[in-house]
Structure 1
Amino acid sequence: MDAAAAYNPRTVEEVFRDFKGRRAGMIKALTSDVEEFYQQCDPEKENLCLYGFPSEQWEVNLPAEEVPPELPEPALGINFARDGMQEKDWLSLVAVHSDAWLLSVAFYFGARFGFDKADRKRLFNMINDLPTIFEIVTGTAKKQQVKEKSSVSNHSSNKSKSNPKRGSESQPKYTKVMQAKDEDEEGLEEEDDEEHGDTLCGACGENYAADEFWICCDACEKWFHGKCVKMTPARAEHIKHYKCPSCSSNKRARP
């Protein structure tokens, strides 16, 4: 927890970068690293908190001992409810409290370093442009995923095998590889960018980028950066039905 207090951003842009880093770490804990997060939240342990750090890392640990703490503290005792409800409901509840903590930390910095009304408004607007952790964990930020997945499948079936940004008809429908665009197909690239510009990664929450490999979970129909779920195009070619780390963890028997 010392790492959380070691960095004191002083401008709106610095606070926003701090916010994004902590947010990315907590999203990892609740999505791609959910197995490890689940195990660390043992109900037999004392009050535990989920911390996100500017370095995009996360940690489950005891709360700070000093009062008042250097930074606002996350919700206490997130581990106690782990086995008392469905896992998805528990993760959603932790996500809500994580969103509240991120806002409290951001506006704590704003108060500490004297942000005026205009700076606070600008900071909130920058934060509000990102989907919440809750929206990412529950999938409510991706209501268009089914439509977009179908569109990508239709486009893929009509694309040339010789084009590196196009997949063959035999390519799994849930994968797409968008690489450097050809000059003679700039129009199609712009169409793809417009179509997928609002697509968000289910792990990190960042927008679609045309030069990145993405994969869609056949269970929850969320899209993910390949790097966020440790998946490569080569591996995806041999998978008939892909399940993301969160959906795979749901196979675990619940009490």
Structure 2
Amino acid sequence: MEGTPHPVSRTPEEVFNDFKGRRAGLVKALTTDVDKFYQMCDPDKENLCLYGLPNETWEVNLPVEEVPPELPEPALGINFARDGMQEKDWLSLVAVHSDSWLLAVAFYFGARFGFGKAERKRLFQMINDLPTVFEVVTGNVKQPKDNSGAQNNSSKSKSSGKTSRQSESQPKGVKMSPPPKEENESGGEEEEEEDEQGATLCGACGDNYANDEFWICCDICERWFHGKCVKITPAKAEHIKQYKCPSCSNKRARV
């Protein structure tokens, strides 16, 4: 269900921006806002759906009544299964259906705006470069490759639970840039760099590293996150002895 009319999209890039906004909202619902999402999916209520909105927000609401709807609708009645299975399995199932819905909406726009074969291919390639909602929720997003055992040992302090400084001005427990890349003597340096850049992703939003961004690593699952995605600032990170991401904190709280 849309709070405001969706923006008119005419190119694959515009449709992809709509996709990214909706995807970001769904990822928030199933990770950083998971407690709120869980409470809203009351099995005693009517059939509910999880909607990702273009402005990177989400909502749980009843499906639209019009048939056919203006846009494809998400999976119906996700709240009914909430208490009938393990929470992580339920969240994973909702994530899978959310991925299907995102693709349906994107290619609905593609058909609506007359995309040809080349435009549909470009749209799918942009979408496929991002990890799925399911991969983010289940923690299956690829992590940075270990290029140097010495570097890996020095980058994380087991005693303090915080990463070491990568530079004199950089706070502990954060990562400001992708790990240094080693040259590939066999001539595959460029391919290796592309692989590593694609593998270094935020565990919350799934986006790649960007220069001068604040990052923090969870000491439990060892996934990296944008500070803004998990609401941690560099100043706050200085006083954290052991950082636990929202997913790990929620799991431990319910044990």
The TM-score with structure 1 as length reference comes to 0.83
CA RMSD in angstroms, aligned pairs only: 2.7
1:63 aligns with 63
Task: Report deviation, 1:159.
Answer: 5.0
Distance verdict in 2 for CA 1:160–1:221, change over 3 Å: closer
Count of residues paired in the alignment: 236
Query: Using a 3 Å threshold, how does the CA distance of structure 1 residues 250 and 147 change in structure 2: closer, same or farther?
Result: farther
User: AA paired with 2:20?
Assistant: K
Partner of 2:29: 29
CA shift for structure 1 position 3: 3.2
> 1:210: Cα distance to partner?
2.5
Q: State the distance in 2 between where 1:73 and 1:229 align.
A: 29
d(CA) in 1 for partners of 2:147 and 2:43?
Answer: 40
Q: Deviations over 1:62-118 (max 9, x none)?
A: 100111101000001111111111111111111100000000000101111111111
- Contact 2:6/2:54 (<8 A) preserved: no
Is 1:7 aligned to residue 7 of structure 2? Answer: yes
- Paired with 1:189 and 1:235, the residues of 2 have a C-alpha distance of 26
| Closer/same/farther in 2, CA of residues 147 and 89 from structure 1, 3 Å limit | farther
Q: Report the Cα distance in structure 2 between the residues aligned to 1:9 and 1:139, rounded to whole angstroms.
A: 32
Q: Among the aligned pairs, what percent are the same residue?
A: 68
Native 8 Å contact 1:152 1:176 kept in 2: no
Tell me which residue corresponds to 1:229.
230
Residue of structure 2 equivalent to 1:154:
154
For the 8 Å contact 1:145–1:223, the answer to whether it is kept is no
Structure 1 position 116 matched with structure 2 position 116? yes
**Equivalent residue letter for 1:115:** F
Structure 1: where are the runs of 5+ without partners? 179-187
Distance in 1 between the 2:83 and 2:165 partners? Answer: 48
Matches within 5 A, 1:133-148: 133-144=133-144
- Equivalent position of 1:182 in the other structure: none
Alignment partners' CA distance in 2, 1:64 and 1:136: 28
1:18-56 deviations in Å (ceiling 9; x for gaps):
001100111111111111111111111111111011111
SS at match of 1:74: coil
Amino acid at match of 2:25: G
Gaps of 5+ in 2: 156-162, 183-192
Using the size of structure 2 for normalisation, the TM-score is: 0.83
Alignment of 1:1-255 (within 5 A): 1-3=1-3, 5-144=5-144, 151=151, 154-155=154-155, 161=168, 164=169, 166-167=170-171, 171-172=172-173, 175-178=174-177, 197=197, 198-253=199-254
Secondary structure of the structure 1 residue equivalent to 2:3 = helix
The residue identity in structure 1 corresponding to 2:62 is L
Alignment partners' CA distance in 1, 2:148 and 2:140: 15
Q: Are the aligned partners of 1:217 and 1:244 in contact in 2 as well (CA < 8 Å)? A: yes
Seen in structure 2, the aligned counterparts of structure 1 residues 66 and 145 have a Cα distance that, compared at 3 Å, is: farther
Q: Distance in 1 between matches of 2:87 and 2:148?
A: 28
Q: Call closer, same or farther: CA 1:222–1:108 in 2, change over 3 Å.
A: same
Contact residue 146 and residue 221 of structure 1 kept, 8 A:
no
Instruction: Give the Cα–Cα distance (whole angstroms) in 1 for the partners of residues 200 and 135 of structure 2.
Output: 13
